[in-house]
């Protein structure tokens, strides 16, 4: 059951990503030969117009296969024969659709449960928050000069900046105050804490507020992904602390089982939260300027705009192939790391 739920979530996110490429390609007049979910042998499929719509054996992945995308074509509607700005837009809209999906799912989630605002429900004894005079009922409005909209942003910010002094802006009885907290490392939880507890309840939002908070949710997810990548690149976290496909499937399964005890609504809410996280992550990852990713292709298009002529197709092919091999190697390492964490 866990794997089935994970496949459904991954498939929905991937289809939406590829839909961004597909709809933009069609709008630009590019011939799309195939729109598929998965890789490998075709399980089922049908042709409508000039496009084959297929479901392939390996469910993790998908493709919008365009005429003249990876090879030269004499067809005027080939991807490679379109103006560079159209090719740039077609590739860009895959990740942008991931962010659009995150916005839609966030709006659904916020409409269903509301928002937990960054209000302090309580302070822990002998921790920085209490020592600085923070009290239950105070609302944190900014951390390190960055506006805060959700309670969960506080723990995320402390996680990423736990070794730093953090400036905190908060309101009490309508008055704004500012203080500085130095997080304290907690041996039991193995993380830095400032010693506050959440309000524990969610506040309902109007339709206009839902749209605004959905935007902030996307910003929050992008920030988390970008900071996590920064910590990985700078060696502050290791690959063992990163979850790959196996780890994500296990997380989905564990979350599903825990939510099932509380009923269908909690399953819906928690699976929706995971989907928001994954689609925002996929959007950010695909924008990285790395060969074989959408971001790597965008770099080639930018170079073409500057040089006013495309890079040799063979060169781009070799670079993308090298990038693909490196990505597969990294994926294998992460999968083995996931398995080690599960069975060790």
Does 312 lie in the same domain as 232? yes
Closest CA to 152 of 273, 255, 262, 280: 273
Does 63 lie in the same domain as 212? yes
* CB burial string 88-102: b at 16+ within 10 A, e below: bbbbbbbbbbbbbbb
**Per-residue pLDDT for 342 more than 90?**
no
Residue 168's DSSP bridge partners are 143, 179
pLDDT (tens digit per residue) in 254-275: 888 888 888 999 999 999 999 9
Decide which of 181, 201, 221 is a domain's last residue: 201
CA distance 97 to 100: 5
How many distinct structural domains can be found in the chain?
Answer: 2
Does 278 lie in the same domain as 197? no
* pLDDT level of residue 343 (50, 70, 90 thresholds): low
Decide which of 184, 201, 218 is a domain's last residue: 201
Does 328 lie in the same domain as 313? yes
pLDDT (tens digit per residue) in 191-224: 899 999 988 789 999 999 999 999 999 999 998 8
**Per-residue pLDDT for 225 more than 80?**
yes
**Per-residue pLDDT for 306 more than 80?**
yes
For residues 48-54, give the mean pLDDT.
Answer: 95
CA distance 53 to 342: 37
* For the chain, percent of residues with pLDDT exceeding 70: 92
**Per-residue pLDDT for 320 more than 80?**
no
Q: Which domain holds residue 221?
A: 1-115+206-344
For residues 287-303, give the mean pLDDT.
Answer: 90
Decide which of 201, 224, 244 is a domain's last residue: 201
Does 128 lie in the same domain as 78? no
Does 222 lie in the same domain as 126? no
* pLDDT level of residue 233 (50, 70, 90 thresholds): confident
Q: Can you give 272-283 as a three-state secondary structure string?
A: HHHHHHHHHHHH
Does 70 lie in the same domain as 45? yes
Active site residues: 18
CA distance 74 to 146: 52
**Per-residue pLDDT for 6 more than 90?**
no
Does 190 lie in the same domain as 79? no
Does 195 lie in the same domain as 219? no
pLDDT of residue 186: 87
For residues 5-32, give the mean pLDDT.
Answer: 94
**Per-residue pLDDT for 50 more than 90?**
yes
Does 333 lie in the same domain as 225? yes
Does 241 lie in the same domain as 149? no
Rounded to two decimals, what is the model's pTM? 0.87
Does 100 lie in the same domain as 89? yes
Residue 159's DSSP bridge partners are none
* pLDDT level of residue 230 (50, 70, 90 thresholds): confident
> Mean pLDDT over all residues of the chain?
88
pLDDT (tens digit per residue) in 129-162: 999 999 999 999 999 999 999 999 998 999 888 8
CATH code: domain of residue 170: 2.30.42.10
């Amino acid at each position: 059951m866990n794997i089935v739920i994970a496949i459904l979530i991954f498939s929905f996110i991937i289809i939406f990503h590829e839909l961004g490429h597909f709809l933009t390609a069609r709008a630009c007049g590019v011939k799309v030969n195939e729109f598929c979910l998965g890789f490998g042998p075709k399980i089922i499929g049908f042709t409508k117009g000039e496009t084959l719509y297929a479901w392939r054996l390996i469910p993790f992945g998908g493709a919008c296969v365009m005429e003249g995308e990876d090879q030269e074509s004499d067809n005027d509607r080939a991807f490679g024969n379109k103006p560079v700005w159209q090719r740039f837009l077609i590739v860009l809209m895959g990740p942008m659709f991931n962010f659009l999906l995150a916005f839609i799912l966030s709006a659904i989630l916020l409409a269903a449960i509301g928002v937990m605002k960054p209000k302090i429900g309580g302070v822990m004894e002998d921790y920085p928050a209490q020592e600085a005079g923070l009290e239950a009922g105070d609302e944190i409005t900014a951390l390190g000069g960055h506006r805060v909209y959700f309670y969960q942003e506080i723990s995320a910010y402390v996680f990423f900046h736990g070794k730093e002094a953090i400036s905190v802006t908060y309101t009490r009885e309508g008055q704004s105050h500012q203080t500085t907290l130095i997080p304290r490392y907690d041996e039991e939880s193995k993380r830095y804490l400032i010693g506050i507890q959440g309000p524990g309840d969610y506040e309902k939002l109007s339709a206009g507020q839902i749209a605004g908070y959905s935007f902030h949710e996307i910003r929050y997810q992008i920030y988390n992904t970008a900071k996590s990548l920064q910590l990985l690149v700078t060696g502050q976290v290791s690959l063992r602390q990163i979850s790959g496909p196996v780890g994500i499937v296990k997380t989905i399964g564990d979350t599903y089982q825990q939510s099932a005890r509380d009923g269908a609504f909690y399953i819906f809410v928690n699976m929706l939260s995971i989907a928001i996280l994954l689609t925002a992550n996929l959007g950010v990852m695909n924008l990285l300027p790395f060969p074989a990713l959408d971001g790597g292709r965008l770099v080639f298009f930018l170079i073409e705009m500057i040089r006013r002529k495309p890079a040799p197709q063979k060169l781009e092919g070799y670079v993308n192939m090298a990038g693909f091999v490196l990505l597969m190697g990294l994926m294998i390492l992460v999968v083995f790391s996931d398995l080690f964490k599960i069975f060790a």
